[in-house]
Amino acid sequence: MKRHYFTTLAAVSVALLLSACGSDSSSRRPDTTPPVEPAPATAFRVLPYVQRPTTEGITVIWFTDTNVPGELQVSGHGSYPSEPVLAERLTYGASEVAYLHGDTNYGGAHAGLEDGEAPVLPYRHSVRVEGLVAATTYDYTVVQPGAAQTFSSTFSTAPDTGARTPVRFVVMSDMETEPESTRKSVAWSASALRVGGDKLGTDPDTYSRMYPVDQTTGYRANLVYAQARQPDFWVIAGDLVEKGGRQLDWDEFWRHGAGEWGTLASSTPIFPALGNHENYWHPEATGYNAAASMLSYDKWSTYWDLPANFAADERYEKRYYRVDYGPVTLITLDSSNGDDADPSRDTNLMINGAESRVPDFNPGSVQWNWAVREMADAQAKGQVIIVQFHHSPFGTGVHSLVSGSAGIANNEDNQSGQPMRVYHELFERYGVVAVVAGHDELLEYVNHDGVHYWDVGFAGDGLRGPGYAPTTTYVPFDLLPADAQASHWSAHGDVPEIWHGNQLIDGGKHYGFLEVEVRPVGEYDYEVVMTPRYVFPLMNEAGEATGEFDQRQYNKVVRVPVAR
């Protein structure tokens, strides 16, 4: 079982004191050794978290507010010192500092700063451990001199590629963390079925209805549930933060993942994909522009240790990559930007790929050719292939409109996921089992030519409905292929809310994740089981949230046999 715990340094201090009291001081020579200066007071800015597991190694990363080296201790294996490096890209803009000292910092981000003071730049500690045993769980401890506590948890190495072992992982998207999420709830529309309309329509009475708990509370409860499922790894299909260039939003992400609010990332490696929000915002150039994309990528690159793709442009690294974990191959693509000259081939009409150094994803591009090679190789090795990227290609939300600049009111979207449909033929050819994405901030599913597509954008931000009511009542369901229309399922339309007076009993859209289990069957085959799970906020008879959650699953479990 994965676990984490803190250990105080008091025991170390007592041991040192006792060792100094063992003999008569009159028989000793005078000690002329200069006293050792104690380490300066140090605090973890991000608790230790694990990255890039292989069959023989893993990386442990943490951040502190001083440059004092720490030590990673791996039970039964050895100790490894860290070399702290100043994280120069994790900077704060003036508006961020103003927020911290304003009246709306309800979550207490960076509490304890002097008036007008900015947080100091942190130091990054990264230790790579090799020579481990495949498919093995290790206890580890990080000792950081000057800190009030040490930190302990566990990590596991990957099984051998192709090993016939069960694998379980969780998939999320669109948590879009920011400190403003505390005390901020989102619009919570309901299906029109309850008023006699179409299931993909929206009940007009719920256009302005707000969800019963704020985003911070909902996401925290979601991570508690995910951790209880004991996943082998954690996939995030983009939009981890609200603004990729805003440091406060990254700080908030780690408060949940490896900080005061949760430590799932301390034992469970994250495999992330870039979303549109990871290309967004610069304190001096807000919105989408080259400065925002570059700063956002610098922050992204600082946090992640991901497999190399050997791209010619170093800024293409950590944007698309392959992971092999036992029988599973995860292919991560960067859907941030396409062909800037053709809206039908571009997912973000506001990003200039050349200026921002964001790779194209279309046929013939470096990323496309890389994806073809990796999928062909994984198929040849008999792997169960899962693909992730951010922009959902077959959905019914606002970002499933036709790509264009005419505006949502005219049924065009300048951040459409439709251009990613160009990959479908490849996915079918190379036997991809499932594609996980987000962007529409829905929970929905379609089966198109045997490829199972999920939008899992319900991690911790919006809980949207189809279309973009009330701006427009058009839902782009008719833009889906015929078999996708026939197989379409969504939490909005297929799980109607059940009320007892003012008290919600069941149903509706809630924060959650997709759980994927890959199970060996017989001598050669596998079964892939995909289960959407969610946290249900309990209410009293007055319709008020009690602060407690049920851990539930939706009525859509997809089982896919995979013959080998």
CA–CA distance, 31 with 28 (Å, rounded to integer): 8
Show the tokens assigned to 522. Answer: 């017989």
Q: How far is CA 29 from the centre of its chain?
A: 59
* Integer-rounded Cα radius of gyration of the chain: 25
Whose structure tokens read 């800015």? 45
pLDDT of res. 19: 39
Helix orientation angle between 290-303 and 247-257, rounded to the nearest 10 degrees: 30
pLDDT of res. 203: 95
Give the residues of the chain that fall short of pLDDT 70: 1-36
CA distances from 143 to 12, 101, 126 (A): 11, 32, 13
Burial of 286 (0-12, 13-18, 19+ CB in 10 A): middle
In sequence order, what are the beta bridge partners of 234? 170, 270
Beta strands in 130-197 (DSSP E): 137-143, 149-156, 167-172
pLDDT of res. 39: 85
Q: CB–CB of 421/432 below 8 Å?
A: no
Which are the contacts of 400, defined by CB distance < 8 A and separation ≥ 6? 392, 394, 413, 416, 417, 418, 440, 476, 479
Q: What fold is seen in the domain 167-562?
A: Purple Acid Phosphatase; chain A, domain 2 (3.60.21)
Q: CB–CB of 377/155 below 8 Å?
A: no
What's the pTM? 0.94
Burial of 370 (0-12, 13-18, 19+ CB in 10 A): buried
Neighbouring CB atoms inside 10 A of 365's CB total 15
In sequence order, what are the beta bridge partners of 550? 536
Average pLDDT score over the chain: 94
Q: CB–CB of 537/510 below 8 Å?
A: yes
Q: Is the dihedral of CA 57, 136, 456, 264 positive or negative?
A: negative
Q: CB–CB of 540/546 below 8 Å?
A: yes
pLDDT of res. 469: 84
CA–CA distance, 4 with 278 (Å, rounded to integer): 29
Left if phi > 0, otherwise alpha if psi is -120 to 50, otherwise beta: which for 224? alpha
Which are the contacts of 28, defined by CB distance < 8 A and separation ≥ 6? none
The boundaries of every CATH 3.60.21.10 domain in the chain are 167-562
The boundaries of every CATH 2.60.40.10 domain in the chain are 5-87+122-156
CATH of the domain spanning 5-87+122-156, picked from 1.10.10.10, 3.30.70.260, 2.60.40.10, 3.40.309.10: 2.60.40.10
